[in-house]
Structures are given as structure tokens and as C-alpha cells.
Chain A
Amino acid sequence: MTTHTTALKTPAPASAGAGTGAPAGRPPRRGRSVSPRGHSGWTPWLYLLPALVLLAGLLVYPIYQLGLISFLEYTQAQVSGGEPTTFQGFGNYATLFNDSQFWQVLLATVLFAAACVVSTLFVGCALAVLLTRIRALPRLALMMAALGAWATPAITGSTVWVFLFDPDFGPVNKVLGLGDFSWTYGRYSAFALVLLEVLWCSFPFVMVTVYAGIRAIPTEVLEAASLDGASQWRIWRTIMAPMLKPILIVVTIQSIIWDFKVFTQIYVMTNGGGIAGQNLVLNVYAYQKAFASSQYSLGSAIGVVMLVILLAVTLVYLRLVRRQGEEL
């Protein structure tokens, strides 16, 4: 702790000295003032301490362990003491990056997540606008339906969807007259099926959030627009969307993170990654490596790669937003 304090305090007098070329008499005076300033400088940290300890325990420590394991040879044999744990450096990452399947899975994940994010935002925003345009009763019905979908656990939703689209017993094939078409056999039809389920369980969040945002827009503005004869699309594009920008940003980032990390739906609906692994996404791939085949270190490396990608996406996105002069 002492090292820390001095290290933090030192820059101030040093830079002052260098900048002004002050006489030798000044530093002591500044030195006197350090103590009250130092005290007040620490107070906020003191208040933040409980939260920081909690964050460190719940976020930093697991990430630290994840990173550490990704640099080791750590399989079941190391965990149960059959073989010593050895340091591999970037060995696990080299294995991963030389694995052509990893790149395929990464590409599939990015495209799948992008499709999910776009469709979720589109459906969510469209329904949010719809909510503002309909009467109380249908609005209540739509809200309840959406909240029901939202409240359904992913594993339950996925199981029900698989049943609905079952080639032998599923009602969907019967209604559409598809015979015994198997949705999970083809790569794209399987991804499409999962996308529908992801969309179904994640659009309510977008819808509710955006709806709340729209409600906060002064009605005069909207009224003025419609009096001027603006179409619904025009109102959305030039009035609602710009005013909702902060909300849309948060919703987009959240959707990117969620859809990039999708696990349950793929795992349940395509039975752990589909035929010959055709529907693997990074999270399921990491699970298969880490837990199915006990290569914990390789799984950790995949986790670190995902973390880096998501951080990068979020940072780039926030930068773009900042550059446009918006603040969150």
C-alpha cells in the first residue's frame, strides 16, 4: 500500500518542477498541501472499495484464472494429479490458430451473431413502434406474449422449438406440409431454426427497452411530424432513432455480446453442434474442447479469444459513437 501511495503522489510535484522551473523554496509548501489533498483523494476509493472487492472477486479473478490456464497444459490428467502441470506459453493459442476448424467456427459465429443481432433489433424496434400505435388491449396481449417468451428459460424454449419442428411429430411440418423434412440436417436450415429461437427469446428485451424510450420522447415532436405528413418510416428515421440513440447503442452492444456467446440454443437444438459439427459456434466449441474432451487449457484459450473479440467490438463501437459527439 505505501509503495502505491508514493507512486501516485510523486508525479504532481515532479511535473510542476519541470514545468515552471520553480525555486527551491516551493516544494515544501506544496508538500504541506499534499496531505489534505491526498486524504480527500482517497476518500472516494474508500467508498468504492466494497464494490471493487466484489468486482475483483467475481470478474477479475475468474478472468485471471482463465488467462492463466490458457497458458498451461491443463487436462484431466493435470487436474487429478496424474501428470504435472506445465507452462506452455502460447502453445494452446498456436494449436488453436492452426486448427482450420477454429477459423470456420469463428466465421460461423460472427455471421450467425450478426444475423441474430440485426434481426433481433429489427423485430424489436418494429414491434416497439407498433406498441405505441395500437390500443390498450392488443398492446397488453403483445406485451404479455413477449414477456412470456422472455421469461422462458433458454433450455425450455429450445426443447419446445425442437419439438415443434420435429420431422416426425412436429406440428410445424404438418401445417406447412413439409412432410418429414429434417430442419437440423442441413447446415443453413439448422442455423435458421436456431436463429428463430434466439430471435424469439431476445426480441422482447429490445422491444421493451425501445418502447420505454419512445414513451419518453415528447409527444409534441411526434405530433408535429405527423401533422407535417411524415410517414411512419420517416418519423422513425429522423426523429425516433436519433432521439433513441443512447438506448439503441446499449441494446446493440448487449445483443452483440449475447448473440456472440449463444450456447444453450445451439447445444440443445443441434445436439451439441450439429451433424459433423456443422452448427458449432465458439461457445459450444469451447465447451466441447474444455469439458467433453477435458482439454481445459484449450477451452480457456478459446474463452480468452472470445473475450478479446468482444472487448474489441465494444470498444470500436463506443469510439465510433464518441466520434459522432454522443455521450452515453
Chain B
Amino acid sequence: MKLSARIAAPVAALVLAGLTATACAPQTSDTSAKGDEKSGTLRVWLYQEVGNKPKEKVVDDAVAAFEKSHKGAKVEVEYIPVDTRAQRIKAAFNDPKSAPDLVEYGNSDTAGYVKDGGLADITEEFGAWEEAKDTDPIAKQSVTVGDKVYGAPFFVGVRALYYRTDVFKDLGIQPPKSQAELVSTAKKIHKAKPDLYGLAVGGAYTYGAMPFIWSHGGEIAGESGGTYKSAINSEKARKGIEAYTSLFGDDNCPAAKCASMGGNATVTAFASGKAAMAIGGDFSHAAVEAGSVKGKYAVVPLPGIAPDSIAPAFAGGNNIGVLKSSSHRTLAVDLMKSLTGKKTQAEMFDAMGFLPTYTDVLDNAAKKQPFVAPFVQTLGAGAKFVPASPAWGQIDASLVLPTMFQEIVSGRKDVAQASDDAAKKMDAAFTAAG
């Protein structure tokens, strides 16, 4: 009697708590569309680039044309900062009421966003779209998850080798023709000019490192029957990791400084005249032009193993997708078509230097601008893409590969150990993502 009475109060409290528990479970948003209105305001989020004005102009033209042909539709474009895009887009998925109808997003995030339930499946519209037939197959792969299309490619970005023409002339050397030559050239330059990194590399520069792995025949992961398994610890991949990490050291890029660098840091080092070579994208062009090396550099494709071959590059770039929560689906798809259509992409190339995702438009661009030739060559030689698994976003965000490179270059683990550990983490993520 005494005992049960003592217990009664806490039990009552617990029951109360339990009742409230069901009422305050963590929030889940309903991202399904509430209709398909044929008029009203469409909201668009695009990335705010460095030097955004020319982009705005091209977008404004495309939007004006769209509003003219769609009576009653109004378009509001907002440019979101690249640094905080992940939070913004997550927030948009969490709160459909304040979410836009269209978003620009990095193509390696596609699978993750699809799993989050944020992007609308537009396979049908994309298939019926005349211009889409000329889309580059790699670009199309970057909007595809499990045979379904979730957006349209906006531009592609590939990386190639930037080098200092003055330094090369000074030392009487030629741009490297093979990966072995690349490594030896880098070390030769650093020996002759200790103030310069031979080739600026970064321990956190995943997409600069991948060409080394791919050129040795390695892969990030292999797919069989829709499930991925890490291949980063395969014999071939390890050779590539070894080649890349051999560039860290006092004979090229000291680990104490280069281990923590990411892609931007290496490009900045090159642009400010601290490196004789760097792996940069077509999109880095503006940054390099703005640096102190303007007029003293050139670009060639990053060499592969065999002499005069090209190492497979990562097919980066952005897509534009329709949000699942959009209440103007038809209008939004139309606007997406006009923003990513051939006309806009050709103009966007002239304005920003973004490589078009249509093979014919890209060819025209290369003819007009000799600068992009090495990048177009690189694309033509076969670029590669990250695993189209929702786990990739998480692997990328939890820095699995940068950690692996950093462990090796700081001497904490050898290649075999570090790649095994990375493979284990990747497989855990692939399994969790299903």
C-alpha cells in the first residue's frame, strides 16, 4: 500500500510525459505538392557566384522571355551564397512553405537530395524535351538516380592543369606529358625555386586527387544491383592514392602546409604566384585572371599514365531542379527548361565561362574561346562521376576521403591502412543509405 502510493506520483508523471511525447515527436515536413497552379509567383534560388553580375543579366533575359510567353506568371530570382547553400537547401526541404520552386544545386548532391525527398521526378518532361536529346551523357548521368531524372544540367565543370608559362620558360621545361613527368616536373621546379610549390596539392582536395586514382584504373566505389561497395582500397586505387600523396613533402608541397588545403586554397596559391602548377577548373578561370599571375599562365589537360593521355577528370557542375513541394509544377518545369536551354547556356558561357552541357553548344563554345579547349578536350577524353548513391553526400560531408589523404601525408597511416579505413566508413554509409 505504502509502496504503491509512493510510486503512483512518478507513474502519473511518466504517463503524462508519455502522452505529451506522442504530441511532440520531432518534426517531419510534408514536402508533397499541394496542386499545380498555372499562374502566380515562381521562386528561384541560384548560386551567388564570384562576380555575379553577368550571370544575373543572362538570367534576367531568360526570365523576361519566360514571363512574356507565360501570362500571369511572375518569377522571383534570389541568389544564395555558395558557402551556406547546404543549410539553405536543407531549410527549404524542411519548410516547404518558404521553399522556392526551382533550385540550382551541385551535381554531386543529386542522389542525396532525392533521398531527402526534396526534388521532383521530371523523367517524363525531360524525355519529351527536344533540346535534351543533345545533352552530354555524363551531364545526364548527374541528374539521374535509378533511371529517373531529377532536374536539368545547368553547366559542367572539369579540372585541368594550370601552369606558369614564365617559370617553365625560365627553367627551359615543357608542360608534363604523363603523370610520372608531372611528378618529376613538380619536384624539379620546387628544387630550382624553393619559394614555389611545384604542383599545389591539397589534402582536402578530393576532386583534384580523383584523377590520379581514376587514371590508375581505380574507382571510388563499384555498383552491383543498385548497391554500392567501396573500391577505394583496391590495388589500382591505392596506386593512384600513392601517386597523389607522393606530391606532399618538402620536395614539392610541404605536408605541414598542404595537408589542410582544399581546392580553393590550391587555386588561390596558384593565382597569388605561390605555385608553378595547380589543378583548377574552368570555373577557376576568373579567380586566376584576378590574381597576380594574369597573362603568365596557360592550361593543358591533366596528363594520365601513358604519355600524351589525359587523366579522367571529375565531371562537376550544377543542375537546376524542381522542388517536390512546388505548387506550380508545370510552370516550374517550363522555367527550368528556359534557364537550362541551349540559348541560355550559350549566353551563360559567354558571360561566365560555364561550360554548356549540350554537345553541340559546347563545340561552338570551344571554337569561340580557345581558353576552354583543354577543358573540352578533358571532357572529350571521358570524365567520371561520383557514385550516384544518396550516401555520397554524407561521405563527402563527413570528409572520409580528405581524412584518408591527410592521414597518409601526415604519416599517421600507410596507404593500405588508411584506404582500408576509408573503405570501411564508406561501406557503412552505403549500407545505411540502402
* Interface pair B93/A276, CB less than 8 Å apart: no
Q: Check A20 for interface membership: any CB of B closer than 8 A.
A: no
* Interface pair A80/B90, CB less than 8 Å apart: yes
Measured CB to CB, the closest approach of chain A to B2, in angstroms, equals 5
Q: How large is the interface on B (under 10, 10 to 19, 20 to 34, 35 or more residues)?
A: 35 or more
Interface-centre pick from A3, A4, A82 (highest chain B CB count, 10 A):
A82
* Interface pair A15/B2, CB less than 8 Å apart: yes
Interface residues of B in 387-409 (CB under 8 A from A): 390, 393-394, 397-399, 402-404, 406-407
Q: Check A221 for interface membership: any CB of B closer than 8 A.
A: no
Of B8, B27, B404, which one neighbours A10 at CB under 8 angstroms? Answer: B8
Summarize A's interface: helix, strand, loop or mixed: helix
* Interface pair B398/A292, CB less than 8 Å apart: yes
Q: Check A81 for interface membership: any CB of B closer than 8 A.
A: yes
Query: Residues of B contacting A8 with CB < 8 Å?
Result: 9
* Interface pair B259/A292, CB less than 8 Å apart: no
Given contacts A4-B12, A11-B5, A276-B407, contact A80 B398 (CB under 8 A): no
Q: Check B78 for interface membership: any CB of A closer than 8 A.
A: no
Measured CB to CB, the closest approach of chain A to B14, in angstroms, equals 12
Of A80, A85, A180, which one neighbours B257 at CB under 8 angstroms? Answer: A180
* Interface pair B257/A167, CB less than 8 Å apart: yes
* Interface pair A11/B2, CB less than 8 Å apart: yes
Q: Check A69 for interface membership: any CB of B closer than 8 A.
A: yes
**In the complex, per-residue mask of B93-128: 1 if CB is within 8 Å of any chain A CB, else 0:** 110000000000000000010111110000000000
* Interface pair B255/A82, CB less than 8 Å apart: no
Given contacts A10-B8, A11-B2, A185-B256, contact A294 B397 (CB under 8 A): yes
Interface residues of A in 34-83 (CB under 8 A from B): 61, 64-65, 68-69, 72, 74, 76-83
Q: Check B260 for interface membership: any CB of A closer than 8 A.
A: yes
Query: Residues of A contacting B403 with CB < 8 Å?
Result: 276-277
Measured CB to CB, the closest approach of chain A to B421, in angstroms, equals 9
Interface-facing stretch out of B28-36, B45-53, B299-307: B28-36
* Interface pair A81/B29, CB less than 8 Å apart: yes
* Interface pair B26/A167, CB less than 8 Å apart: no
What separation, in Å, do the CA atoms of A288 and B400 have in the docked complex?
Answer: 12
* Interface pair B398/A78, CB less than 8 Å apart: no
Query: Residues of A contacting B206 with CB < 8 Å?
Result: none
Interface-centre pick from A79, A80, A85 (highest chain B CB count, 10 A):
A80
Q: Check B211 for interface membership: any CB of A closer than 8 A.
A: no
* Interface pair A85/B25, CB less than 8 Å apart: yes
Q: Check A202 for interface membership: any CB of B closer than 8 A.
A: no
* Interface pair A79/B8, CB less than 8 Å apart: no
Show 28 residue pairs from A and B whose CB-CB distance is below 8 angstroms, ordered by the A residue: A4-B9, A4-B12, A7-B8, A10-B5, A11-B5, A14-B1, A65-B24, A74-B26, A76-B90, A76-B112, A77-B116, A79-B94, A80-B28, A81-B29, A81-B30, A82-B117, A85-B26, A180-B256, A185-B256, A185-B259, A276-B412, A278-B410, A278-B412, A288-B398, A289-B398, A292-B397, A294-B393, A295-B394
Binding site for B on A (CB under 8 A): 3-4, 6-8, 10-11, 14-15, 18, 61, 64-65, 68-69, 72, 74, 76-85, 167, 180-182, 184-185, 271, 275-278, 288-289, 292-295
Binding site for A on B (CB under 8 A): 1-2, 5-6, 8-9, 12-13, 17, 21, 24-32, 90, 93-94, 112, 114-118, 203, 255-257, 259-260, 390, 393-394, 397-399, 402-404, 406-407, 410, 412
